[in-house]
Chains A and B, each alone.
Chain A
């Protein structure tokens, strides 16, 4: 019974929006609209769930004095202070929350991202080698796209780089991206069908307490 009831709920809730999509009658779509609203609320529960998980993982790390436990103190302190001001005044309007975001969170994250340019430069120098035909094609395409993204490219080639770079992005790149997107969509659809039909049950857990 502990497994059957969730499976029945999943089957009905999963099937109903598909049914409502093809039968857009008022009597059907009313319940579907309610399900859409419920989905927003259910999705919101993922946030506290994630927070609980972060707190549990880091408190365990602190208790065990695992490697880098000092960082957990910083993380938990940041989480508590930000959450406090966020809950007291709302994330939008509380000046302390916004001040911390603009002056602490934002520069820290921007710095982390900016460091990428150094690593990318170093990695490109070491990894981009014309070792074989495929690597050479990749190398040439990369240089054209990089030149096409900057004004220098057009200045050096009388405006040829931007159209050439756009062609690479619009034709060979888009073709490859389509394959990836269609593959992922088919995978998601087949997984959804498996879950609705009760074939895939890993989301129910292992059954062990």
Chain B
């Protein structure tokens, strides 16, 4: 056996196997079980404890590159809030498409609920530049920072704004973040103004948030597709409407639970390759020593 030859296998072989590993579960879903973890459960419990008199901020702090990981998370959290009739302020502090993600996701989810009204139960405040400066300003007045919503309509006439004067009225801030904006919410809004903050982030940025989570500066962390799938699982287990919704093919295919099938297979392929590579590495070293 030529270990050296196997060790330097053509990278196209790896690409091909990853492509097959990603495609097969999309065509034939496996439906692997999902077990919710404590950090995800904490946000679910928090929203469960809220009602029509409570207001939450959902900040779309990500762009299209993080869409596959964070869209399912955004949808399940919005569905949960609307189901509980919690008032939702949607905003975007990420410049590269955050507001467009917000428009897209909000529109898709709000259409599923007949008895919620724009300006009363939810509002899209649009994009504001200068993330930290905007966050600081919201402690004084949210309406003064967003005098008009995403459509250009004045916010001062909207009933929802009476429930969202400043951070004193906000039950929790949920930042769906790529990059540093999630950290700003934690180390500015939580640390200075004491507002509970939950962050839903891509899997690659999750490690840095564990320091804040352990320190109690964050009440919850939803890391990547796994975090999203755990939230969906909690929603599906609790609510009949969610169970039916996530059975619909067009929603099922884009859900985090379906995405976990793909992630699982690709992770296994990578792990197998790592183990195979190391085995070949040691065999090659032994062969070279023997020579």
Contacts and interface: CB of A to CB of B under 8 A. Distances in A.
Interface of A: 33, 36-37, 39-40, 42-44, 46-47, 90-93, 98, 101-102, 105-110, 112-114, 117-118, 120-122, 124-126, 128-130, 139, 142-143, 146-147, 149-152, 154-155, 159, 162, 166, 169-170, 173-174, 177-178, 180-181
Q: Is the interface of A mostly helix, strand, loop or mixed?
A: helix
Interface in B82-133: 95, 97, 99-100, 103-104, 124, 126-131, 133
B68 A98 contact: no
B105 to A, nearest CB: 11
B124 to A, nearest CB: 7
B22 to A, nearest CB: 7
Contacts of B19: 118
Contact of A121 (B66, B207, B264, B266): B266
Interface string B223-242: 01010000000000000000
B130 A102 contact: no
B287 interface: no
A33 to B, nearest CB: 5
B245 interface: no
B210 A170 contact: yes
B100 A151 contact: no
Contact of A92 (B133, B151, B271): B151
Nearest to B30: A151
Contacts of A178: 211, 215
Interface residues of B, number: 70
Interface of B: 9, 11, 14-15, 17-19, 22, 32-35, 37-38, 63-68, 95, 97, 99-100, 103-104, 124, 126-131, 133-134, 136-137, 140, 144-145, 150-152, 203, 206-208, 210-211, 213-215, 224, 226, 260, 263-264, 266-271, 273-274, 276-278, 281-282
Contact of A129 (B150, B224, B273, B277): B277
13 contacts: A40-B130, A40-B134, A43-B131, A47-B129, A93-B152, A109-B65, A114-B68, A118-B15, A121-B17, A146-B271, A150-B226, A151-B32, A152-B264
Contacts of A159: 35
A174 B130 contact: no
Contacts of A146: 267, 270-271
B203 A149 contact: yes
Contact of A40 (B133, B203, B226): B133
Given A98-B103, A101-B97, A44 B129 contact: yes
A77 to B, nearest CB: 18
Nearest to B124: A92
B136 A36 contact: yes
